[in-house]
Amino acid sequence: MISGTKVASMPHNCVSFIKRNAVMCIALAAAIITSVIVPPSKEYAEYFDFRTLTCLFCVLAVVCALKNINFFYMLARKVVQLFKTARMSILALVYITFIGSMLIANDMALLTFLPLGYFVLTTTGKQKHMAFTFIMQNIAANLGGMLTPFGNPQNLYLYSRYEIPNLEFMRIMAPPFILSVVLITLCCFIFIKPEPLKLADEKIVLSPKRTALYLILFALSILIVFRGVPYWIGLIVIPSVLIFADIKALKTVDYGLLFTFVFFFVFAGNMARIDVVRELFSSLLDKSTSLFSVVSCQFISNVPSAILLSQFTGNYADLLVGVNIGGVGTLISSLASLITFREYVKHNPGKTGYYIGLFSLFNFGFLIILTGFTFLMKSS
């Protein structure tokens, strides 16, 4: 028999689950609605990109294992301790997030390094810089991940779907990436003064064996992403090792993100089979793939935009750039932005309005500059 307390708590638990997995729930609703228009059939099996799902799972699982032994925390802390001022320390935090997003994906970089940013600022009495630091870390995570196929989830999908050569991928993304580095650096130098800053020492000891093992698994994940190893090998080896080495890592994988991809595959596949939608989207993308993809991200986020729009265009270069720079802008343009917002409000519940205002100012500033730069590059 279920107690009254458990029954009463069920609505609250449902609301909490939806809040934590808002994008996944929206994707599920979209998949269900379009499944009414396009009833399930054997064609549904063609919707799914199993290679993308496997690569994403492998990377997320190994990153969780490395995070559990404080590998990224220790690495970031060592870098920050090299700097003695607020400006350089915040710049270091932003750069760490920037580089981290290229290696462990933007959302994992934020989940790993935002707590370090909070720790550094609170222990040194520089809480006044928290909103700016979190926003710059967020922008760095979204834009830093654009250079590598595994830096952002939408990159992994497009890289796999269009089978983009490695060097071509980096050639396409290098110009906006370089500009992003310059803009982020300028913002940190302009808006943060070189105030003295001191961080207390903290001893962190890593297990040499576990560290070596997880780094080997991480290297395997990267080889799978770059097509050096068949993806099914990673699906067998990585979970098998982690079951014994760190089962918690498998439990803490962001399965919500994986299911978000699954549901959006269904949604995008169904949309592509609706004649009116196919004609409309094809027409808009023919006029300007990059602009339409940037605008789309502002309303339905960058991952679903990549999955949906890829059904209607073969212009992967403009689509790739659009869904990457489109990750800055509104609060819902990227899942990473929602992660940062949630983390900031948790520590500063009374400053929601201030954060959203500052976030919008910087993000739309970056969006306008990067979009303008993209069109100048195309016209030159």
Beta carbons of 324 and 303 less than 8 angstroms apart: no
Whether 8 has a pLDDT exceeding 60, the answer reads no
Distance CA 328, CA 306 (A): 15
The proportion of the chain whose per-residue pLDDT surpasses 90, expressed as a percent, equals: 38
* Nearest Cα to Cα of residue 152 among 106, 114, 115: 106
pLDDT mean over 198-206: 73
Q: Where are the beta strands (DSSP E) in the chain?
A: none
Distance CA 179, CA 38 (A): 43
Q: What is the pLDDT of residue 113?
A: 84
Beta carbons of 303 and 264 less than 8 angstroms apart: yes
pLDDT digit string, tens, across residues 133-155: 999 999 999 998 898 887 788 89
Whether 7 has a pLDDT exceeding 60, the answer reads no
Q: Structure pTM?
A: 0.77
Tokens of 16: 């909490």
Question: Among 161-170, 190-199, 362-371, which is the least confidently predicted range?
Answer: 190-199
- Cα radius of gyration rounded to whole Å, the chain: 21
Distance CA 324, CA 318 (A): 10
Whether 54 has a pLDDT exceeding 90, the answer reads no
Question: Among 14-28, 51-65, 82-96, 303-317, which is the least confidently predicted range?
Answer: 14-28
Whether 13 has a pLDDT exceeding 80, the answer reads no
For residue 88, give every residue at least 6 positions away whose Cβ sits within 8 Å of its Cβ, in sequence order, or none. Answer: 194
Q: What is the pLDDT of residue 222?
A: 80
Q: What is the pLDDT of residue 216?
A: 94
**CB-side exposure of 260: number of CA atoms within 13 Å?**
27
Beta carbons of 141 and 98 less than 8 angstroms apart: yes
Q: What is the pLDDT of residue 336?
A: 81
Bigger pLDDT: 181 vs 284: 181
Most confident of 85-89, 234-238, 282-286, 296-300: 234-238
Distance CA 108, CA 104 (A): 6
Beta carbons of 239 and 250 less than 8 angstroms apart: yes
Residue 121: pLDDT band by 50, 70, 90 thresholds? confident
Question: Among 7-16, 95-104, 181-190, 304-313, which is the least confidently predicted range?
Answer: 7-16
With 0-12 / 13-18 / 19 or more C-beta atoms within 10 angstroms meaning exposed / middle / buried, residue 210 is middle
Question: How far, in whole angstroms, is CA 7 from its chain's centroid?
Answer: 36
Q: Which residues pair with 196 in a beta bridge?
A: 85
Q: Is 85 helix (H, G, I), strand (E, B) or coil?
A: strand
For residue 250, give every residue at least 6 positions away whose Cβ sits within 8 Å of its Cβ, in sequence order, or none. Answer: 61, 64, 239, 242, 243
Distance CA 306, CA 319 (A): 7
Tokens of 19: 């809040």
Per this entry, what is the length of the chain?
A: 380
pLDDT digit string, tens, across residues 91-119: 999 998 998 888 777 877 887 788 888 88
Residue in this structure with the two tokens 């600022």, named with its chain if needed: 121
Bigger pLDDT: 66 vs 135: 135
CA distances (Å), origin 189, targets 2, 58, 122, 194: 58, 37, 21, 9
Whether 85 has a pLDDT exceeding 90, the answer reads no
Q: What is the pLDDT of residue 171?
A: 94
Q: What is the pLDDT of residue 141?
A: 92
Q: What is the pLDDT of residue 281?
A: 82
Q: Please give the full DSSP string across 145-170, using - where no structure is assigned.
A: GGGSTTTSHHHHHHHHHTT--HHHHH
pLDDT digit string, tens, across residues 159-185: 989 999 989 999 999 999 999 999 999
pLDDT mean over 258-270: 83
pLDDT digit string, tens, across residues 205-226: 888 999 999 999 988 988 887 7
Q: Please give the full DSSP string across 102-160, using - where no structure is assigned.
A: HHH-HHHHHHHHHHHHHHHHHHTT-GGGHHHHHHHHHHHHHHHGGGSTTTSHHHHHHHH
